[in-house]
Amino acid sequence: MTTSAPVATPDITRQLAKFAVEARWEDLPEPARAAARRTFGNAVALMVGSSRHPAVAAILGALDGLGMPAQASVLGRAERLGVVWAPLVNGVAAHVEDFDDTHLPTVVHPGAAVVPAALALGEWRGASGEDVLCAVAVGVEVALRVGLGLTPAHFDQGWHLTGTAGHVGAAAAAGRMLGLGVNELQTALALGATQAAGLTAALGTMVKSFHPGKAAADGVEAALLAQRGFTSAPTMIEGRRGLAAVASPAAEPDLMVDELGSRWELEANAFKPYACGIVSHAIIDAAIELREQATAEEIESVELTVHPVVLDVMGVLNPAAGLEAKFSAPHCFAVGLLDGTAGLEQYTDARVGAADAQALRARVRIKLDPAVAKGAAVAQVTTADGRRLHAEVPHATGSAERPMTDAQLRAKASALVEPILGEGSVDLIDLAFAADALDDLDALTAAARPTGTSG
Amino acid sequence: MTTSAPVATPDITRQLAKFAVEARWEDLPEPARAAARRTFGNAVALMVGSSRHPAVAAILGALDGLGMPAQASVLGRAERLGVVWAPLVNGVAAHVEDFDDTHLPTVVHPGAAVVPAALALGEWRGASGEDVLCAVAVGVEVALRVGLGLTPAHFDQGWHLTGTAGHVGAAAAAGRMLGLGVNELQTALALGATQAAGLTAALGTMVKSFHPGKAAADGVEAALLAQRGFTSAPTMIEGRRGLAAVASPAAEPDLMVDELGSRWELEANAFKPYACGIVSHAIIDAAIELREQATAEEIESVELTVHPVVLDVMGVLNPAAGLEAKFSAPHCFAVGLLDGTAGLEQYTDARVGAADAQALRARVRIKLDPAVAKGAAVAQVTTADGRRLHAEVPHATGSAERPMTDAQLRAKASALVEPILGEGSVDLIDLAFAADALDDLDALTAAARPTGTSG
């Protein structure tokens, strides 16, 4: 038996279940409530924005012959699916563009696994927005706590925490939405833990986004089973041959419950402003700053000084397709300067192939300097008329030091939603970022449906 | 990064996919075909026999509100469910009594994960029995091969291989049933691999049987997604941060494809004659042998000589309930002698509490001797009239050295099925053990439905 260090706290699954059952929205600290609202709104916007992605189309195609009842909405589309299936599709959509939230200490993307579970059950049961947001808060917190206890060794071993910890978090949110008691919710967490899976070999493929989608769907299923009398062992997370011992060579399960309920990891959930690898975000910030001073036509050359890790990840110098461009530092700079943003539109095949982007990318040189911080960038621009421009970004937008403001996050959400919903997008953004005020989710799911379609 | 030794064979997922696509029933060696028939028939009988189990009832209760289309049968019941859901229920039923098949080198119980996937898709698509049996053969072989490559280190770490390797095997069987090409089947295997999960902390609970149920359901889903264009990385089993590297500290992935298609691990799939822990099976054989020579009333004392491991596992001397009795060597001897068998009926609360079983258990003493083989037993009986009787069983029925005969396996199946189906059970057994001769599965699923109900 390979096992981790002995567990000092023997009832972690139980404590997490009690926390999930007993949390009350009005007792959450305001920063935690705000983080839950932002996590929900950001996830909703991504679901709508990615609702035409081929991964979403593949799943809907597969489900098409299965005689699905209309219980829960696929956001951004006319389809409504069974309450276990809608979370699968919405979870894939929320994550597939790598544009969602990130809890940096664990590298969990909690929104994609947790929000779809709470959303589907909330819609199905006519729950209030406050109940849904509280379930999101609880589910995210459980996912992050489980992640903290498993990682970094768990990640280093090759596990995708959004799939593993996400399974437990989604089960917590779903159990909360069904109003389970502590025993039943403990079983739901056990079912989540025993299904915790997701290999990082899947990174860069559709399967990466399948992990949170499946976590969300399995979480709903786990809560339904627990509600109907399915039973489990009580210590599936912390026990002998439980999740911590089996899936992490150096777990610290006590971190899962340390100050649980008083300190909220949820508050550290961060949001990506740009739809590409996080290490190039400072480059995009620098480009956006420089576009005030020079147009692309005026620029003769660009020198970006970054930490060597940036080129490891973002080293595609002349990308041929949209997905490649997400890993291209020159393209990131080019769209930042040309378009003033770096959303989904900036990483389409068409945008990557456009003449202006190609021309500007060709003028970018990258200089590596280990003295520059990993999340920082320095840009030097020389113009044709001999000016030398300079931008220095020590911390990128969306970093812990410089979180996205509410206005920035809503602008990101609007840009995601508008191509799908057109004029109706304003309504959806207003509803999604203040969802705790809603009597039920009907107005929100209706607003997320494209004009001319009906559920 | 913690990783296993380098992989000598780089295209294992691909090779398994090619094997699954290209296998032809008529080209299988006859022992492999026979093993597929036995695996299928045994699993069908267990599904029917356990169709009233509380774990099955809990799942059906949870699914009840989900507006399920009637696509695939729950064996032994009137319910028909969606093609992804029937495998969940049937997989749980096949495994929940710990009475199914076992591939001893890997401790995989392949039938419970693989047969429900092939069965549901076969029924849904009107496939021939031969196609279904070939999918079972292929899926079992893939599950066992993946298990061989991961274990023993994978099991020692705390993974339940029926859940982990079972996921990949079920995806292979399902992909085969859908007629996928090699690329698509490779994606199905990848989706199975990235969902490989199941903690042995669940042993002794309903969740243990949830593992193969979910493997079967996820396998069907994986094949449906792959068919509709979902894509993955090509080396999810053998690649960097793939299943072998992530989930086993000492994987030997080459074993997954060594002589694949010419040597069939399927042929080593063994069947349990008795519904209890395998280390007491020799005790039951000895008791059955002795019942020819003495009735329980005549017996004054029993001395069982066994390896110490037997008492570790089977050390409940005076069980109070059916589940405990599965781990009681004295109870196993008692029912063997009293009833001449040890099926589900022998491990009910009522049978455990019956006066004759209690009385005989009280007369059993256990003597430990490390010189006796783990799978063996020696029984010494002294009768009230002074006779000394002796039975020595070096290899239990169902062991590799003494596999169950077809007649024994059919008798086991009949005993499982009769309490549910009554007179109709003969038809089902005949169909289930020669399923490759069927034009489609309609007659079989109809025969598995209790009289007076309809699908």
Cβ pair A230:B62 closer than 8 A = yes
Give dist(CA A15, CA A21) in Å, integer: 10
Pairing of strands B377-383, B388-393: antiparallel
Cβ pair B225:A196 closer than 8 A = no
Residue B1 pLDDT greater than 50, yes or no: no
| Residue reference for tokens 């959509």 | A93
Within 8 A of A125 by CB-CB distance, chain B residues are none
Within 8 A of B234 by CB-CB distance, chain A residues are none
CB of B114 closer than 8 Å to CB of B162? no
Within 8 A of A190 by CB-CB distance, chain B residues are 202, 207
| Residue reference for tokens 């900036």 | A346
Give dist(CA B23, CA B52) in Å, integer: 36
- Any bridge partners for residue B390, and if so which? B380
Mean pLDDT rounded to a whole number for chain B: 94
CB of B368 closer than 8 Å to CB of B311? yes
Within 8 A of A246 by CB-CB distance, chain B residues are 157-159, 199-201
Cβ pair B202:A84 closer than 8 A = no
Count of other CB atoms within 10 angstroms of residue B285: 27
Nearest to B129 by CA among B432, B433, B435, B429: B435
pLDDT attached to residue B314: 85
pLDDT attached to residue B323: 82
Give backbone dihedrals phi and psi of A50, rounded to 5 degrees, phi first. -100, 15
Mutate to test the interface with A, among B195, B208, B214, B237 (most CBs of A within 10 A): B195
pLDDT attached to residue A4: 46
If pLDDT is split at 50, 70 and 90, which confidence band does B277 have?
confident
Name the residue facing B196 among A71, A191, A197 (closest C-beta): A197
Count of other CB atoms within 10 angstroms of residue A308: 12
Name the residue facing A199 among B62, B66, B241 (closest C-beta): B241
| 10-residue stretch averages of pLDDT, chain A, 455 residues long | 51 98 98 98 98 96 88 96 97 95 94 98 98 98 98 95 98 98 98 98 92 98 97 95 96 97 97 91 97 97 95 87 90 98 94 97 97 95 97 95 96 96 92 98 97 62
How close B183 comes to chain A (CA, Å)? 15
Counting Cα atoms < 13 Å in the Cβ hemisphere of B352 gives 19
Q: What long-range pairs does A126-129 form, CB within 8 A, spacing at least 24?
A: A126/A440, A126/A442, A127/A177, A127/A440, A127/A441, A128/A438, A128/A439, A128/A440, A129/A435, A129/A436, A129/A437, A129/A438, A129/A439, A129/A440, A129/A441, A129/A444
A56 → chain B, closest CA residue: B230
CB of B138 closer than 8 Å to CB of B178? no
Give dist(CA A304, CA A391) in Å, integer: 10
Nearest to A385 by CA among A289, A305, A287, A293: A293
Exposed, middle or buried by CB within 10 Å (0-12, 13-18, 19+), for B450? middle
pLDDT attached to residue B154: 96
pLDDT attached to residue A255: 97
pLDDT attached to residue A8: 54
pLDDT attached to residue A455: 45
How close B164 comes to chain A (CA, Å)? 10
Residue B242 pLDDT greater than 70, yes or no: yes
Nearest to A376 by CA among A392, A357, A388: A392
The pLDDT tens digits of the residues spanning A163-220 come to: 999 999 999 999 999 999 999 999 999 999 999 999 999 988 999 999 999 999 999 9
pLDDT attached to residue A2: 40
Within 8 A of B157 by CB-CB distance, chain A residues are 1-2, 246
Give backbone dihedrals phi and psi of B291, rounded to 5 degrees, phi first. -65, -15
Cis peptide before A105 (omega within 30 of 0): no
Helix (H) or strand (E) holding B407: helix B406-421
| ipTM of the modeled complex | 0.93
Cβ pair A197:B195 closer than 8 A = yes
How close B56 comes to chain A (CA, Å)? 9
Name the residue facing B158 among A62, A205, A245 (closest C-beta): A245
Give dist(CA A446, CA A450) in Å, integer: 9
Name the residue facing B207 among A199, A203, A232 (closest C-beta): A232
pLDDT attached to residue B453: 63
Cβ pair B201:A239 closer than 8 A = yes
Name the residue facing A246 among B68, B157, B245 (closest C-beta): B157
Within 8 A of A195 by CB-CB distance, chain B residues are 195, 197-198, 214
Give dist(CA A123, CA A423) in Å, integer: 24
A239 → chain B, closest CA residue: B201
Within 8 A of A213 by CB-CB distance, chain B residues are none
Within 8 A of A191 by CB-CB distance, chain B residues are 207, 210
The pLDDT tens digits of the residues spanning B414-453 come to: 999 999 999 889 899 999 999 999 999 999 999 999 986 6
Whole-model pTM: value is 0.94
A61 → chain B, closest CA residue: B228
pLDDT attached to residue B312: 83
Name the residue facing A229 among B54, B66, B228 (closest C-beta): B54
A152 → chain B, closest CA residue: B1
Cβ pair B207:A83 closer than 8 A = no
The first and second tokens of residue A49, run together, are 């924005």
Alpha helices in A178-229 (DSSP H): 182-194, 206-227
Within 8 A of A196 by CB-CB distance, chain B residues are 197
pLDDT attached to residue A96: 95
CA B377: distance to chain centroid?
24
CB of A55 closer than 8 Å to CB of A209? yes
* Distant-in-sequence, close-in-space partners of A64: CB < 8 Å, separation ≥ 6: none
Within 8 A of A225 by CB-CB distance, chain B residues are 58-59, 62, 210
CB of A101 closer than 8 Å to CB of A271? yes
How close B449 comes to chain A (CA, Å)? 22
Q: What is the mean pLDDT of the segment spanning B373-380? A: 95
Share of chain B above pLDDT 90, in %: 88
The pLDDT tens digits of the residues spanning B319-351 come to: 998 888 988 999 999 999 999 999 999 999 999
Cβ pair A232:B195 closer than 8 A = no
The C-alpha R_g of chain B, in whole angstroms, comes to: 22
* Distant-in-sequence, close-in-space partners of A404: CB < 8 Å, separation ≥ 6: A270, A271, A273, A397, A398, A412
